[in-house]
Amino acid sequence: MKLRMVGCTHREANLDLRQRLAFDDKQVAEALKQWRVDLPGTELALLSTCNRVELYAAAEENTPDSQSLVAALARFHHLAPGDIGPEIMTLADREVAEHLFRVTASLDSMVVGESQILSQVKRAFQSAQTMNAAGPRLNGLFQAALRAAKRVAGETTLHRHRVSVASVAISELATCVFETFDDKHVLVAGAGEMAEETLRYLQDSGSPRIHVVNRSRERGELLAEKYGGKVHPWEELSEQLVKADLAISTTSASEPIMTAAEFATAISPRRHQRPLVILDLAVPKDFDPAIGDELGVYLYSLDDLHQACQRNQASRAAALPAAEEIIREETVRFVAETHLRASAPVITELREGLHRPKEAELERLFNRLPQLDETSKQEIRQFADRLVNKLLHSPLESLRDASQSGTHHGLLEALRRLFKIES
Amino acid sequence: MDSGINIICFAASYAVALALELSGLWATVRFRRMGEVLAAAAGLVAHTWYLGRRVAEQPAAPLASQQEWFLLAAWVLAVVYLAARFYYPSKSLGLFLLPGVLSLIGAATLAPAKPLVSFEAPRVWGIVHGLFLLVGTVAVLVGFLAGLMYLLQSRRLKLKRLPTTGLKLPSLEWLEHANSRALGMATLMMCGGLLSGIITRLAQKGSTLKFSWTDPVVISLAAMTAWLLVAEVFRRVYPAARQGRKVAYLTMAAFGFLLLVLAAVLWGDRFHQPYGTAEATSVERIAPQTLLRGGEK
């Protein structure tokens, strides 16, 4: 089996090129449909995310060369191959497998260990299957990639450590305080990007009631509408803080929007020590740090969350060697299995080539010795089977060893010629 | 026990489960969680077998002696642990519940194992009395452990130590609910236990006039029940006590009372001594104790 991959990733290609080559779901389907016609006999799958566009090709004997695959990518977007040439990555055979395994296990991601890529790889393969562009060869490759990713997730701690501020804030901090977010009152002060990112994570974890207070009502309404929340006038900040379970603050105010004295007098007494998580994601800070000393208040600033992210990044780095080792093992296993599959017809033919004369000779022998009872015949039959199996054992073992090291082609050819195998 | 299963067997199994849980704080041990569940389950099977044998030998078991009462309380807490392990597999609940199980087993080894004198009260009241106090004790223990976890988790979050690895505790919200429910349950059970104890006495003698009110067990148990009742009323009336660390403090104080009760049972109890023993008082001779030895703690 031959494999080839062409594409661009965040490592080599800039955002402009990645955007020009990007495919949405509909375009993926259209492109695969077109390429099935342009590149007959080749199995194809296209992985397109914001960090990479990769076209995988597999065939029994020869895949289209890299130029053809790059041209196919470029043609779909009405580009000249020369426009995208220098930044395109091309890989073949074993490199393809190893690369896809690393991608699926999130070792090649911009944020190593992020979990989204696994579902993106699955979706890419499902699209290829739906469009009848993928066959048994790519199926074997992608299944092996998913197996490698599963091993990395299960046997290392790579995926257990979140590294973005928003994910740490929700997945590691807020979940320590709240069992569920479904009935929680979430206050968003300010409508910055960080607030939006945090709300995205929050919505993945439940369906909280979102309340936005913003100085610009228009921007506040936009954010509230996007996440199904309500917008309130800025003057209601204190009132909303009394009701809130989780407060996310990302205003651009130059002074704190809430002082410790104000919190202690106007808010604390009305909360009755009900837990409140405050994510102060603004620079400079929106909440006086002394508010964190109030009972039931867990105040985390951007710096606090950054520190947690850095600790997690260090933990991930520590888990990387083990993850890379798993990728190496799985690549070796995949290559060996692929070679063995390629040798399968020869092995089958070899077995049958010896079993056919064995059966003929046994029949001739039993005809010449009619006095043999069934027990004796059975013994003789078993003897013949054992003899054939023992004769086959050494060549098959050598073939298996050669398959694992990738040097099986010469041996296969020799077996074909020695035993006159035609396949 | 002729089956070869003794207290050490299941105590060792629980200790192995605890050791495995502890190992998770510092290292990634493969199949650790499965090992914990298997060790605890093996302990529970042996524990059940042990109590079952006692029942087979003595119809009044497993509430026929102080020792059995402690062992049954440990058994209930072990069941709570296994259920918690099943529902919250990634949390370090065993670090708190398993020491509780082992402490109860330890108390069982200190408590007298001899069967109590035959009782004269209706058996049904004895059983009700013993079971109320048993469930109440476990509820106080669970509430205490939940309160401890709450304060620990709250402290960690205040110090900005996010629990990415090692000790993983349930959310504050979950612990608060567990704590409140445990407090409510303990109050109900302890009141029921005290009331059924008095009814048992009445059923025996028709009067509580010669009841040993000054017995340490009776005093400490009555004090704990009163505290639980006050705490529960306080929790329901005062909003701040319904949430946060206050409810944790309430259950932790209840645990302090429970320790006094258990200490009184182990070392200061004159109330439940059989007839004719050196410790027996005239009051006790007038009012013979129930079969449920631990039931009147």
Q: Are residues A152 and A6 in the same domain?
A: yes
The size of the A-B interface in CB pairs under 8 A is: 66
Picking from B162, B177, B244, the nearest residue to A275 by CB comes out as: B244
| pLDDT-based confidence at residue A405 (cuts at 50, 70, 90) | confident
Q: Is A50 a known active-site residue? A: yes
Model confidence at A333: pLDDT above 80: yes
Structural domains counted in chain A? 3
Domain-terminating residue out of A115, A138, A159? A159
Instruction: Give contacts of B171 with chain A, Cβ < 8 Å.
Output: 175-179
Sheet holding A2-9, edge to edge: A43-48, A52-59, A2-9, A89-92
In chain B, residues with a C-beta closer than 8 Å to the C-beta of A307 are: 160
Q: Taking a C-beta distance cutoff of 8 angstroms, is the pair A214, A234 a contact?
A: yes
Judged by average pLDDT, the poorest of A382-391, B56-65, B125-134, B143-152 is: B56-65
What's the confidence (pLDDT) of residue B101? 92
Q: Is residue A343 part of a domain?
A: no
The answer on A195 and A144 residing in a single domain is no
Tell me which of A309, A339, A356 is where a domain ends: A309
The more confidently predicted of residues A290 and B25 is: A290
Structure tokens at B245: 């660390």
Q: Complex ipTM above 0.85?
A: no
Tell me whether residues B173 and A298 touch, CB distance under 8 A.
no
Lowest mean pLDDT among B83-92, B135-144, B207-216: B207-216
H or E element in which residue A211 lies: strand A209-213
Q: A237 and A298 share a domain?
A: yes
Q: Which two tokens stand for residue B242?
A: 């319904």
With b for 16 or more beta-carbon neighbours within 10 A and e for fewer, the B229-240 pattern comes to eebbeebeeeeb
Q: What is the amino acid identity at position B251?
A: T
| Comparison of pLDDT for A59 and A407, the residue scoring more | A59
Residue A340 lies in a domain: no
Task: Give the pLDDT mean for B239-243.
Answer: 62
Distance separating alpha carbons of residues B20 and B13, to the nearest angstrom: 11
Same domain, A149 and A194: no
Cβ atoms of residues A5 and A54 within 8 Å: yes
Whether residues A22 and A142 fall in one domain: yes
The CATH number linked to A192 is: 3.40.50.720
- Is it the case that residue B277 has pLDDT exceeding 60? no
Asked if the bond preceding B62 is cis, omega within 30° of 0, the reply is yes
Flag the least confident range among A34-38, A94-98, A200-204: A200-204
Position B294 confidence tier, pLDDT thresholds 50, 70, 90: very low
Structure confidence at residue B279 (pLDDT): 39
How much is the average pLDDT of B89-108? 89
The residue-averaged pLDDT of B159-167 equals: 76
Q: Tell me, yes or no, whether A319 lies in a domain.
A: no
Across B169-193, average pLDDT: 88
Q: What is the mean pLDDT of residues B89-94?
A: 84
CB contact under 8 A, A275 and B239: no
A149 pLDDT band, cuts 50/70/90, is very high
Q: Is pLDDT at B283 greater than 90 in this prediction?
A: no
Domain assignment present for A98:
yes
Which pLDDT value is given to residue A145? Answer: 96
B216 vs B52: which has the higher pLDDT: B52
Q: Does A89 touch chain B (CB under 8 A)?
A: no
In this model, does residue B291 exceed pLDDT 50? Answer: no
pLDDT at residue number A156: 86
Give B183 to chain A, closest Cα distance, Å: 19
Q: Which of the pair, A253 or A367, is modelled with greater confidence?
A: A367
How much is the mean pLDDT over chain B? 76
Instruction: Read off the pLDDT band of A365 (50, 70, 90).
Output: very high
Name the average pLDDT for chain A: 88
Distance CA A386, CA B149 (A): 67
A94: domain CATH number? 3.30.460.30
Confidence label for B29 from pLDDT (cuts 50, 70 and 90): low
What is the arithmetic mean of pLDDT over A65-70? 88
Q: Are residues A136 and A276 in the same domain?
A: no
Q: Which of A237-251, A373-387, B61-75 has the lowest mean pLDDT?
A: B61-75
Q: Is A307 on the interface with B (CB under 8 A)?
A: yes
Tell me: do A171 and A129 sit in the same domain. no
Residues A229-272 have pLDDT tens digits of: 999 999 999 999 999 999 999 888 888 999 999 999 999 999 88
Q: Do A304 and B160 touch (CB under 8 A)?
A: yes
Do A293 and A354 lie in one domain? The reply is: no
Amino acid at B276: G
Rounded to an integer, the average pLDDT of B165-171 is: 81
Of A275, A295, A308, the CB nearest to B162: A308
Q: At residue A187, what are phi and psi to the nearest 5 degrees?
A: -100, 130
| Average pLDDT for A337-342 | 82
Question: Does residue A304 sit at the B interface (CB-CB below 8 Å)?
Answer: yes
- Candidate from A6-15, A251-260, B62-71 with smallest mean pLDDT: B62-71
Nearest to B244 among A161, A292, A296 (CB): A296
CA distance A260 to A278: 13
With bands split at pLDDT 50, 70 and 90, how would you rate the model's confidence at B275? very low
Q: What pLDDT, in 10s, does the model give residues A101-145?
A: 999 998 888 777 877 789 899 999 999 999 999 999 999 999 999
Same domain membership, residue A153 and residue A6? yes
- Tell me: do A98 and A196 sit in the same domain: no
Are A153 and A256 members of one domain? no
Chain A residue numbers touching B243 (CB-CB < 8 A)? 272-275, 296
**Residue A322 falls inside a structural domain:** no
Nearest of A45, A228, A32 to residue A120 by alpha carbon: A45
Mutate to test the interface with A, among B30, B151, B162 (most CBs of A within 10 A): B162
Whole-number pLDDT of residue A157: 80
The residue in chain A having the minimum alpha-carbon distance to the alpha carbon of residue B152 is A176
What pLDDT, on the 0 to 100 scale, is given for residue A129?
93
Q: Inform me whether the pLDDT recorded for B102 exceeds 90.
A: yes
A190: left (phi over 0), alpha (psi -120 to 50) or beta: left
Higher pLDDT, A54 or B118: A54
pLDDT tens-place string over residues A177-218 = 999 898 899 999 988 777 888 888 888 888 889 999 998 888
**Chain A residue with the nearest C-alpha to that of B243:** A274
CA distances from B234 to A126, A271, B139, B174 (A): 59, 17, 18, 21
Top pLDDT among B15 and A401 is at B15
For chain A, positions 124-163, list CB contacts with chain B under 8 A.
157, 160-161
| pLDDT of B119 strictly over 70 | no
Confirm whether A398 is domain-assigned. Answer: yes
Among the residue ranges A138-152, B126-140, B201-215, the one predicted with the least confidence is B201-215
Higher pLDDT, A395 or B102: B102
- pLDDT(B18) > 90: yes
Adjacent-strand bridge partners of A396: none
Residue A315 within any structural domain of the chain:
no
| Pairwise CA distance, residues A405 & A96, whole Å | 17
Q: Which of B164, B165, B246 sits opposite A273 (nearest CB)?
A: B246
First to last CA, chain B: 27
Q: Inspect the interface and report whether the beta carbons of A179 and B173 lie closer than 8 Å.
A: yes
Instruction: Tell me what pLDDT residue A304 has.
Output: 87
Range of the domain at A390: 348-418
Best mutation target, A162, A168, A177, to test chain B (most B CBs within 10 A): A177
Of residues B11, B88, B4, B92, the one with CA closest to residue B44: B11
Residue ending a domain, choose from A259, A279, A309: A309
Q: Which of B173, B179, B234, B246 is best to mutate for the A interface (most A CBs within 10 A)?
A: B173
Predicted local confidence at residue A32, as pLDDT: 93
Top mean-pLDDT range of A373-382, B30-39, B64-73: A373-382
User: Are A211 and A262 found together in one domain?
Assistant: yes
pLDDT band for A386, please (50, 70, 90 cuts). very high
Q: Is residue A314 part of a domain?
A: no
**Span B225-234, average pLDDT:** 81
Nearest CA-CA partner of B115 in B55, B162, B171: B55
Task: Provide CB contacts within 8 A for A322, sequence distance 6+.
Answer: A155, A156
CA distances from B196 to A258, B122, B284 (A): 55, 11, 18
- Contacting residues for B1 by C-beta, under 8 A, at least 6 apart: B50, B53
Is pLDDT above 90 for A417? no
Across the interface, which of A179, A180, A298 has its CB nearest the CB of B158?
A298
Confidence grade of residue B204 (pLDDT, cut at 50, 70, 90): low
Q: Who contacts A210 (Cβ-Cβ below 8 Å, separation ≥6)?
A: A186, A188, A199, A224, A227, A228, A229, A230
- The count of other CB atoms within 10 Å of the CB of residue B203 is 16
* Of A118-132, A162-176, A256-270, B114-128, the least confident: B114-128
Cross-chain residue pair A272–B160, CB shorter than 8 Å: no
Domains (range + CATH), chain B:
1-115 (1.20.120), 119-297 (no CATH)
pLDDT (0 to 100) of residue A128: 94
pLDDT of residue B272: 56
The C-alpha atoms of residue B147 and residue B174 are separated, in whole angstroms, by 11
The better pLDDT of the pair A338, B60 is held by A338
Query: Nearest CA to CA, how far is B33 from chain A (Å)?
Result: 14
Backbone phi and psi for residue A211, each to the nearest 5 degrees, phi listed first:
-130, 125
What pLDDT score was predicted for residue A123?
92
